[in-house]
Structure 1
């Protein structure tokens, strides 16, 4: 058994975040086709408020690997989840403070659709 076969493969969570961004672009692009720019950028921001914290979480949690790094993995998991929560709150606040005009229905619907992509991740990332 070589050293290469003993290594664990890293999870393919980047596929999930990539799919979230793709869905965001698809939905906001569809809204742009309606000719309503406010609808389009509101959708874009809704999807990105969901995707960006997930990208940060994936980057932080899967930085460490292996049984010897188990304590580091657990620490990074809890820290990344806390920062992800805070980052989501900050991004929500920034959008609602800085983006005028904003279509909140489009914003929240796209956020929800992109979140559902995250929930369906086991179908995207095979075990």
Structure 2
């Protein structure tokens, strides 16, 4: 039973990451066609600012490992979420200081689109793993 739960978590995380990267790729290509390369760069940066903290969170939560006791799990969750928040703030600061987006609307749209993929992720799960 525990192995099945681990497989469910792994499938969810992998499909979510793929969906987030696809959204970033489609957004970048769309910005390249509609606007210019500067806007495409803004989309890419916005997607990275959203995606990299998510990768950090998954790694800190040890999603791909077996379950741990609830007390350790809660502590991991708080630490991972605090680290994710700190990394997000740091990435925003780095992006706006070193490489200011040429089009902030594209930057924030990509950021929001990648972050909101969590809402669509349950639809990405195969039926046999959802139940």
Q: Shorter chain as normaliser: what TM range?
A: 0.7 to 0.9
Runs of 4+ in 1 over 4 A off after TM superposition: none
Larger radius of gyration: 1
In the superposition, the TM-score normalised over structure 1's length comes to: 0.83
Task: Please state which structure has a larger fraction of its residues in helix.
Answer: 2
Specify whether residues 101 and 42 from structure 1 end up closer, same or farther in structure 2 by C-alpha distance, changes over 3 A only: closer
1:74-95 residue CA offsets vs partner (Å, 9 max, x unmatched):
2111110000011111111111
* 1:101–1:75 CA distance, 2 compared to 1 (3 A): closer
SS of 2:4's equivalent?
A: coil
After superposition, the CA RMSD in angstroms is 2.0
Residue aligning to 1:65? 66
Question: Are the counterparts in 1 of residues 2 and 66 from structure 2 also a CA contact under 8 Å?
Answer: no
For 1:104 and 1:8, the matched residues in 2 are separated by 42
Equivalent position of 2:104 in the other structure? 104
Q: TM-score, normalised by structure 2?
A: 0.81
Aligned pairs, number: 122
Q: Give the alignment of 1:77-96 within 5 angstroms.
A: 77-96=77-96
Deviates more, 1:74-83 or 1:29-38: 29-38
